[in-house]
Amino acid sequence: MDRINAPWEMERKLLIKAEEETDARFGCKPEERPLKDYVRLGIVNLDKISGPSSHEVTAWLKRLLDISHAGHGGTLETSFWEAGKSQSDRCSTRSFGRCD
Amino acid sequence: MTGVLPVALEDATKVVQALLLSGKEYVCVMRLHKKTAEEKVKTVLSEFQGRLLQRPPIRSSVKRRLRIRTVYYMDFLEMQQRDVLLKIGCESGTYIRKICFDVGEVLGCGAHMHELRRTRAGPFTEDENHVTFYDVLYCVSKWRESEDEESLRKIILPMEKALELLPKVHIRDSAVAAVCHGAHLTAPGVLSLETGIEKDDEIALFTQKGEVAAFARALASSKKILTMDHGFVAETIRVMMDRDTYPKMWGKGGNT
């Protein structure tokens, strides 16, 4: 089978339908939001390390930034062995690995 | 498993919906169970490009029903002994572990996924905005100690970034509040739009300042929208912006 264009390989052009000036009194550029709103409407592009699960990483970031909630886009599953290790560290009943 | 994991904060969690459906790219080490000729591996790998039938593996977080997933590309990078380094671009929900296993079956020697790193999740890549745990910890404590806003801003991106790959429609200031209250977008509210939108495609409605107002479904193609002078253009699925950011303009004889 041939290579297919991935969504990020597609090019789009802008078509103008009408023109208008925007009113500076309302809203603002995303980069210029006040810090509080910038965080509230922000995303962190995190480099996940091997070991903790995506959910654990998200919870960790949430605690660190002291915010009410956070959600990640697309679970990066932990491998069978990693999951076993991290669960055995906590010695939970569902541990897959050896519980030292 | 390591790599790109976008984490949305507080109200930005609304964009996760769009992000979950976006394509992913991985770099993977596949370990073959017997020595195999490089040419043979390359041929089999190219067969895995395109639409694949996949049943999710036993240890997975979704229902194990047969589903179709598209692999955009499967690039052979390198081979050392029994280890094959691959770059795979695929639709969300494709199990790489399963692909490796299946490649092994087709080759007849057996194979498994040895290592995996995600190099892209939708518009997020391993670029200069990709931060590690240490970067986050450092920048947050620096901000807490010195109240230096910039160090915190450095590790966070506006949620608009997550919608970068969706076709955009820019709307008038006067249409923003209506859309934010859940109304559908009408033709006069459109200022500009991107090419390649088809009916029923998911699109993002942006203000002229580049803020996202809502996530929507197109009710006509790009070409058609450009010529329309009245009627609905898009159906709002999810409002992202705070409702009262822009003033209400409807029913005042304005453009919308």
pLDDT at position A79: 54
Interchain CB distance below 8 Å, B157 and A39: no
Contacts of A5 in chain B (CB under 8 A): 72
ipTM of the complex: 0.85
On whether both B115 and B172 belong to a single domain, the answer is no
A40 vs B: CB within 8 A: yes
Contacts of A12 in chain B (CB under 8 A): 167, 194-196
Number of Cβ atoms within 10 Å of the Cβ of A83: 18
The number of folded domains in chain B is 2
Interchain CB distance below 8 Å, B49 and A38: no
Taking residues B35-62, report their average pLDDT.
Answer: 88
Q: List pLDDT tens digits, range A23-64.
A: 888 989 999 999 999 999 999 999 998 888 888 899 999 999
For chain B, percent of residues with pLDDT exceeding 90: 79
Interchain CB distance below 8 Å, A46 and B16: no
For B159, the closest of A43, A75, A80 (CB atoms) is: A43
Domain that holds residue B208: 166-239
Interchain CB distance below 8 Å, A73 and B121: yes
CATH number of the CATH domain containing B62: 3.30.70.3190
Let me know if residue B70 belongs to a domain. yes
Contacts of B19 in chain A (CB under 8 A): 73-74
Rg from Cα positions in chain A: 22
What is the distance between the alpha carbons of residues B49 and A1, in angstroms, rounded to a whole number? Answer: 5
CATH number of the CATH domain containing B205: 2.30.130.10
Let me know if residue B7 belongs to a domain. no
Per the structure block, which two tokens stand in for A3?
Answer: 């290579």
What is the distance between the alpha carbons of residues B158 and B137, in angstroms, rounded to a whole number? Answer: 19
CA distances from A44 to A56, A84, B5, B148, B254 (A): 15, 28, 8, 18, 39
Q: Which residue of A has its CA nearest to B189?
A: A18
Where residue B248 falls among pLDDT bands split at 50, 70, 90?
A: confident
Q: Which residue of A has its CA nearest to B138?
A: A64
Domain stop point among B121, B137, B153: B121
Residue B58 backbone phi and psi in degrees, to 5: -55, -50
Q: List pLDDT tens digits, range B35-45.
A: 999 999 999 99
Q: Of B17-21, B122-126, B178-182, which range is least confident?
A: B17-21
Residue pairs between chains A and B whose CB atoms are closer than 8 Å: 246
Let me know if residue B250 belongs to a domain. no
Q: List pLDDT tens digits, range B64-76.
A: 888 899 999 999 9
Residue A100 has pLDDT above 80, yes or no: no
